[in-house]
Structure 1
Amino acid sequence: MIINLTKPSIDAKELQAVERVFKSGWLVRGKETNAFEQEVAAFTGAKHAIATNGCTMGLYLVVKQMNLKPDDEVIVPSLTWSATASIVIQAGAIPVFADVKKDDWCLDPEDVKRKITSKTKLVIPVHYSGRVARGFENFPIPVLYDSAHRIEKDCFDGTTACMSFYAVKNMTTVRGGVILTNDDEAAAWYRMACHGGIGKDTLNRYMGSDDKSAASFYYEVEVPSWNFDMTDVEAAIGREQLKKVTGLNQKREAIVKQYNKAFGLNIKGNHMYPILVENRNEFLVNMKAAGIQCSIHYLPLHLMKGYKEYYKESLPVTESIGEHCLSLPLYPDLKQEEIDFIIEHAKKYATSIKA
């Protein structure tokens, strides 16, 4: 038996949606993507949802639109996927790493405040494992949420956020993401920048308008840009997943409750089940031998070779978590016998299990 760390919940509905798009003859950004954007906006409570081909690209566009200077700084957690920090560098600014809180592993707003300088232009808190990064309301600098791990009904609070629909996330478009914002001007720029800096998408340029004028076939490149579009194939999958995500989240939360009861913990969040294990290396090897996939979320970025030049000071909480953290399998379709098997072997192989 092999128990995956994670697995997407896909059924005939998604397959039918993909078939519908293939039969339509239109695969790239078009009516399906437009509909998906409207549905995501309505679900989350945002005024605008701009579909992209990944959360990484969404985060990058938001930071890029700020026109940061080479010595400008953006504060980010180190306990995160590389994209949270790498997009800052790619956008031409400097990432500054701050520590996380012991209780939820989300960015510590007090440590962030200590690191704010005249060069600080933005902070990017991560909703780690679906836990809301708190303490950034009415913050003294602009905030952009990395919500790659979190999508809930009416979760948008008015602060620009980027979500991920990658294959391992709570809902998937296979590979994709979305920018959520209430800013009309910024939304128009994100949408244009996704599509080569052109003010019209491919569908509108091909179809033209309903009048007799040829003007609508012409287009302008407003800014040299990128191709970060979501496709209609991905969007069609996302439309079906969006209908299910509340139920999928509830199934995840039910498994988290079982884990918590078994291990005597009170872990929050429904994207992963991260724990601290003193004998991590031995535990990972033994779990693998038992057919149970586990992983590490995350090894601290500020200690990585690629971020060496941005290392300024120790982050004690992040480093302590990074030495012992790992994630157990968590996805909606885990069977009860698999959950029991995971719990049994986790207790067997771990010298201690903490949060």
Structure 2
Amino acid sequence: MTEQMVVPIARTSLEPHEVQSVLGPLESGWLVQGPNVKSFEDKWSAFTGAPYSLAVTSCTTGMHLAVAALGLSPGDEVIVPAFTWIATANVIEHQGAKPVFCDIDPLTFNIDMAHAATLVTERTVGIMPVHLFGLSADMTAVMALAEKHGLWVVEDAACGFGATFDGQHVGHFGNAGAFSFHPRKAITTGEGGMVTTADEALSTKIQQLRDHGAVMSDLQRHLGPKPYLLADHIHAGYNQRMTDIQGALGSAQMDRASAIIEERRAIAAEFDEAFSNLDSLRTPHTDERYGHGYQSYPCMVTLEGSVESINAARNAWMETLQTKGVSTRPATHAVHMLSFYSEKYNLKSEDFPNARAANDCSISLPLFHGMTEAEKTHVIKTVLETAPT
């Protein structure tokens, strides 16, 4: 009996020399933030075009550092999309500020800027667009609203590796951006993140805040003329530094950054063509303004009927696909429907109808670099054979 193939939703794909890269810091004895982190940061800046890149412990801590450095305070409001990972809202909540949820464009899954424009109040200080699943938000509209009202912009680019808008890589359109290196991302360090900015003063403050508020890092002090003297600390900072073990792994992967993105785009193109005649499935949107990074392959189930009936059909289809060896997930969740935010701010699922529909009717199919021909064929064949009608 032939064993059934199982295709995961994502899989980390590391080459042998990338695995071996972590031995360097282990053998050197320099395990904390050091030369490998600096190498990773330099390569990230070279790839994205960001003048400054700062490695941190996660995308979440990167966003937190950015909003803290920008002075987010209790009583402030920040506009965020309702359909995103909960971390986008959490970093605002952690500063004692209020996340103001905005509905999404149902075609792109990204923030609806027409709705965002109606949410600005005298308390609004910033906006956090999300480049969801590797597709940039409309940064022309985001920056126009920010400039009109004097708002800062922090880009949640957790999924944004390889994503471009009008030819520019995301992450430094606004004041800052933050990327994730979670294992479901194209570049991974297990946990980890990167903050990018074009603002030198903001970069300096974030660098200090990630390292307990110190004016220089341990490596800078160690290599300086008086390594025996401790640095001054000018902020009540945090410990959000990436280790040199993680930095070595990230730096090694960056040597094939372009190839990783091109492979993911090629797989997405195969899926787009294969599923083009499925009336019940809308594949990821893009157009000439966007370079999609395809952190994942999020689709919408587009059957006739209510959200409730489509949700039931989607869930049944996901169960069928799982039994046939194709792993799926909802694209992500609508944050306003999660218990903490719905209860604290008295929000109902129907308050943001497009975000609710995306929560209940989206489906992400497997897509990752290193996917074999057999795995791609199995996904395509199984989806075509089982798609609801």
Q: TM-score range by the shorter chain?
A: over 0.9
- Match in the other structure for 1:330: 367
| 1:287 aligns to 2:321 (yes or no) | yes
- Match in the other structure for 1:271: 295
Aligned to 1:304, which of 333, 338, 348? 338
Q: The residue matched to 1:137 in structure 2 has which SS?
A: helix
Change (3 A) 1:188 1:255: same
Change (3 A) 1:215 1:6: closer
- Match in the other structure for 2:82: 78
Q: The residue matched to 2:133 in structure 1 has which SS?
A: helix
Q: The residue matched to 1:327 in structure 2 has which SS?
A: strand
| 1:137 aligns to 2:147 (yes or no) | no
Cα offset for 1:76? Answer: 0.5
Query: 1:208, 1:250 → 2: CA distance?
Result: 39
Preserved CA contact (<8 Å) 1:5 1:328: yes
Query: 2:94, 2:100 → 1: CA distance?
Result: 14
Query: 2:264, 2:70 → 1: CA distance?
Result: 36
Superposition misfits of 4+ residues, deviation over 4 angstroms: none
- Match in the other structure for 1:184: 200
Residue type of the partner of 2:259?
Answer: G
Preserved CA contact (<8 Å) 2:63 2:156: yes
Query: 2:346, 2:387 → 1: CA distance?
Result: 32
Aligned to 1:88, which of 73, 88, 92? 92
Change (3 A) 1:127 1:208: closer
Query: 1:143, 1:218 → 2: CA distance?
Result: 35
Preserved CA contact (<8 Å) 1:302 1:311: no
Q: The residue matched to 2:196 in structure 1 has which SS?
A: strand
- Match in the other structure for 1:59: 63
- Match in the other structure for 2:161: 151
Aligned to 1:230, which of 242, 245, 248? 242
Query: 1:311, 1:252 → 2: CA distance?
Result: 40
Moved more, 227-236 or 142-151: 142-151
Preserved CA contact (<8 Å) 1:208 1:217: no
User: What are the superposed Cα offsets for residues 302-348 of structure 1, whole Å, 9 maximum, x if unpaired?
Assistant: 01101122355711111112111110000011112211211222223
- Match in the other structure for 1:123: 127
Gaps of 5+ in 2: 277-281, 287-291, 302-309
Query: 1:137, 1:219 → 2: CA distance?
Result: 38
Query: 1:6, 1:343 → 2: CA distance?
Result: 16
Preserved CA contact (<8 Å) 2:330 2:360: no
Residue type of the partner of 1:137?
Answer: M
- Match in the other structure for 2:383: 346
Q: The residue matched to 1:49 in structure 2 has which SS?
A: strand
| TM, length-normalised to structure 1 | 0.93
User: What are the superposed Cα offsets for residues 34-67 of structure 1, whole Å, 9 maximum, x if unpaired?
Assistant: 1211221122111110110110000011111222
Q: The residue matched to 1:95 in structure 2 has which SS?
A: strand
Query: 1:344, 1:123 → 2: CA distance?
Result: 42
- Match in the other structure for 1:38: 42
Query: 1:333, 1:327 → 2: CA distance?
Result: 18
Query: 2:244, 2:346 → 1: CA distance?
Result: 41
- Match in the other structure for 1:194: 210
Preserved CA contact (<8 Å) 1:150 1:170: no
Preserved CA contact (<8 Å) 2:73 2:95: no
Query: 2:198, 2:41 → 1: CA distance?
Result: 13
Alignment size in residue pairs: 348
| TM, length-normalised to structure 2 | 0.85
Moved more, 129-138 or 151-160: 151-160
- Match in the other structure for 2:182: 166
Preserved CA contact (<8 Å) 2:41 2:55: yes
Preserved CA contact (<8 Å) 2:299 2:331: no
> RMSD across aligned C-alpha pairs, in angstroms?
1.7
Q: The residue matched to 2:298 in structure 1 has which SS?
A: strand
Preserved CA contact (<8 Å) 2:341 2:347: no
Residue type of the partner of 2:360?
Answer: E
Moved more, 323-332 or 291-300: 291-300
Q: The residue matched to 1:217 in structure 2 has which SS?
A: coil
Query: 1:293, 1:322 → 2: CA distance?
Result: 18
